[in-house]
């Protein structure tokens, strides 16, 4: 479940990044427009939530570095059979 949340947050960050870029180009002649600023605020909020969820995953042990990769078990079994 945590990995799904991380992917959704990452996709949200990318969407917010490109929407901010589109707003920047569309509103170049409108100095009173704040759509780019709001897109930046959303992206910062999503990035903070992403970092917090990754930290929570490492703290609880649901995320680990290198030991739960799909190819990790195959490498160990081939080393033990050699």
pLDDT digit string (tens) for the chain, length 82 residues: 889 999 999 999 999 999 999 988 888 888 888 888 898 999 999 999 999 999 999 899 888 776 666 666 665 555 565 5
Distance CA 6, CA 16 (A): 15
Closest-CA residue to 36 (of 22, 46, 48, 49): 22
Residue 65 region, left (φ>0) first, then alpha (ψ -120 to 50), else beta? beta
pTM over 0.75: no
Residue recorded with tokens 């078990």:
73
Confidence at residue 19, expressed as pLDDT on a 0 to 100 scale: 93
């Amino acid at each position: 479940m945590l990995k799904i949340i991380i992917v959704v947050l990452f996709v949200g960050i990318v969407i917010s990044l490109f929407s901010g870029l589109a707003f920047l180009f569309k509103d170049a002649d409108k100095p009173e427009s704040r759509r780019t600023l709001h897109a930046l605020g959303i992206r910062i909020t999503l990035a903070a939530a992403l970092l917090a969820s990754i930290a929570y995953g490492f703290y609880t042990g649901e995320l680990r570095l290198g030991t739960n990769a799909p190819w990790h078990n195959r490498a160990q079994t081939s080393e033990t059979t050699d």
